[in-house]
Structure 1
């Protein structure tokens, strides 16, 4: 009997082992050693309930900037129209008269306000990412400069923070110089909004505006141009290192005409702030975007960032560091009537200096040796 019981016990043990082996083969992990489940693409990642006050202030600062960029102009235009048809119509009429007298100011250096540029909210804006401005050499305040800003990114965030505010210390780094960020002339036709953006140092991107800045006899003006402009914004996505520069030579011509020094500026991290729906050249979406851009003059990238209270979607930029490096100036001799050969030669030198600037500082931002700029 004992032998039979022992055989039955062995048989039961063998059956249990085989069943366990089959279960393990079908379900290889257990409750204790299974890896953490990845969040579903549709799952919303909410922000923690308890967030430090400084981070809330940073988010609020960026939120008001996003509103200023995307919605303030429309609100100002609507306010002017409502004012015109209200009992305060006389105020609208007086402003219209002022607008007519002040119409050319955006083409003549603008009207900056140091109080607004030093507004404390911009420090919270800077720390949200954060953003840092790096100087490589001193610049002579007795000369005029063109800063070629690259890449454009979706909203040119680094250009605004570094050259329209004092939060990153532009005046301290480059004493005697005034920065002017060039913006599409369309925005300076919107009542009230034009006055607000001029306070930060924004001016029209028209040729007459740029010529006015570069022809200042005593020097000291810096014209900041996002050379890739609106079309480059349609390619602004994380990891993108392609710049639309091969056919962009208008700023080169003006630099030669006025003898302004060319300074390449590269803003590491500018393309990391937003994700963008894939829109390769030739696709229906890209064709539509290009058509709208040619009509309206502004790009309409389909972007996705994060929200105020969640991290999964929205129009708020991601918290990605931006490192804006100002390179060495390229000496330019005055040539009142530059030939195409002169423009092409200086353009080639500019591309070389920009590539050199990128290669020298890419490791500081964590890029690898195989990362290089591509010009189209």
Structure 2
């Protein structure tokens, strides 16, 4: 099969959209390595003292990713994020009002390959999160490893990314006065290994840590389903039990990050590459599930709330799937 090249005469708007997404993909796949390389190079030059001073700053500032981070309204409102949004496009859908007097734990599903919907909706203002949910401040939880990378950590914190360690989410959800939203991709890195077009497999049956956290902090639970999240990339076949899947799962346990072998399109051609397909994403925020604060929840209480959350997530999917191109015969598979 031949390569399908992009037309020569592409509107400037679409070129800027591609540039916005290219920057985002690079931020996920290459920026951390570049930042680390710059830090090492500084150590090996006459400017070693800059790296030494920054290392001191890293030590003094080590708790910040677990204490709400250091978000920047300026970065979250960069015009570039609007082009990033329009590339797919990404739409944030509100189904219920959320009282800013409460704190909320958003469960984001599915993880997808690069959680594009979660980033676009909760780490930027491109989809008008603050206008749709006035009085709420969103934080997206990310693996703590990334907050140890010099310089890179400063950039990701600007968008509202914080460490996914338990004490980090607890800090956000325990803030008095309400208005705080911790967004967690419940399926985590392992779920990304099932992210492919048409995939509806959600890792949730054994994921109960976020339920316990909601009970301990009294944060209301909100299921969020991002339609189109799995349609952005193809992935090399890796069925459970295959050699590739076993290697990926082993690396995930050792490194903490999954390594899905994904591919989609390129910048100047549509046949292969690491840019996502131009498929729409509709991130639907469900109704809140009231949670009574309980510092020592029993197993039965955790199981009961977990079942209620699963029921609400399935209902959210079933109520909206027709609107967003999912066949009536398709259903979520919870594992």
Shift of 1:84: 1.4
* 1:172 partnered with 2:116: no
Q: Whose radius of gyration is greater, 1 or 2?
A: 1
> Does the residue aligned with 2:112 lie in a helix, a strand or coil?
coil
Identify the residue that residue 287 of structure 1 maps to in structure 2. Answer: 246
> Does the residue aligned with 1:148 lie in a helix, a strand or coil?
strand
Identify the residue that residue 256 of structure 2 maps to in structure 1. Answer: 297
Identify the residue that residue 189 of structure 1 maps to in structure 2. Answer: 148
Residue of structure 2 aligned with 1:351, choices 288, 292, 310: 310
Identify the residue that residue 63 of structure 2 maps to in structure 1. Answer: 104
Structure 1 Cα separation of the partners of residues 24 and 327 of structure 2:
32
Question: Superposition pairs for residues 192-211 of structure 1, below 5 Å?
Answer: 192-211=151-170
Q: TM-score, normalised on structure 2?
A: 0.99
Identify the residue that residue 112 of structure 2 maps to in structure 1. Answer: 153
Structure 1 Cα separation of the partners of residues 254 and 124 of structure 2:
31
Identify the residue that residue 52 of structure 1 maps to in structure 2. Answer: 11
Identify the residue that residue 225 of structure 1 maps to in structure 2. Answer: 184
Identify the residue that residue 306 of structure 1 maps to in structure 2. Answer: 265
* 1:43 partnered with 2:33: no
Structure 2 Cα separation of the partners of residues 305 and 47 of structure 1:
14
After superposition, the C-alpha distances for 1:190-232 in whole angstroms (9 at most, x for unaligned) are 0000000000000000001011011101111100000000000
> Does the residue aligned with 2:177 lie in a helix, a strand or coil?
coil
Residue of structure 1 aligned with 2:202, choices 243, 253, 256: 243
Residue of structure 2 aligned with 1:132, choices 91, 94, 103: 91
Which aligned runs of 4 or more in structure 1 are off by greater than 2 angstroms? Answer: none
> Does the residue aligned with 1:363 lie in a helix, a strand or coil?
coil
Structure 2 Cα separation of the partners of residues 211 and 302 of structure 1:
33
After superposition, the C-alpha distances for 1:85-119 in whole angstroms (9 at most, x for unaligned) are 21111211111111111000000000000000000
> Does the residue aligned with 1:231 lie in a helix, a strand or coil?
helix
After superposition, the C-alpha distances for 1:168-190 in whole angstroms (9 at most, x for unaligned) are 00000011110000000000000
> Does the residue aligned with 1:294 lie in a helix, a strand or coil?
helix
Structure 1 Cα separation of the partners of residues 45 and 177 of structure 2:
47
Identify the residue that residue 74 of structure 1 maps to in structure 2. Answer: 33
Report which structure shows greater RCO (CA 8 Å, sep ≥6).
2
Identify the residue that residue 361 of structure 1 maps to in structure 2. Answer: 320
Shift of 1:142: 1.0
> Does the residue aligned with 1:365 lie in a helix, a strand or coil?
coil
> Does the residue aligned with 1:364 lie in a helix, a strand or coil?
coil
Residue of structure 2 aligned with 1:144, choices 93, 99, 103: 103
* 1:316 partnered with 2:278: no
> Does the residue aligned with 1:126 lie in a helix, a strand or coil?
helix
After superposition, the C-alpha distances for 1:326-355 in whole angstroms (9 at most, x for unaligned) are 000000001100111111100000000001
Structure 1 Cα separation of the partners of residues 269 and 144 of structure 2:
36
* 1:93 partnered with 2:52: yes
> Does the residue aligned with 2:223 lie in a helix, a strand or coil?
strand
> Does the residue aligned with 2:323 lie in a helix, a strand or coil?
helix
Q: Which runs of 5+ in 1 are unaligned?
A: 1-41
* 1:334 partnered with 2:293: yes
Shift of 1:368: 1.9
Structure 2 Cα separation of the partners of residues 74 and 367 of structure 1:
38
Structure 2 Cα separation of the partners of residues 51 and 165 of structure 1:
26
Identify the residue that residue 270 of structure 1 maps to in structure 2. Answer: 229
Structure 2 Cα separation of the partners of residues 368 and 188 of structure 1:
40
RMSD: 0.6
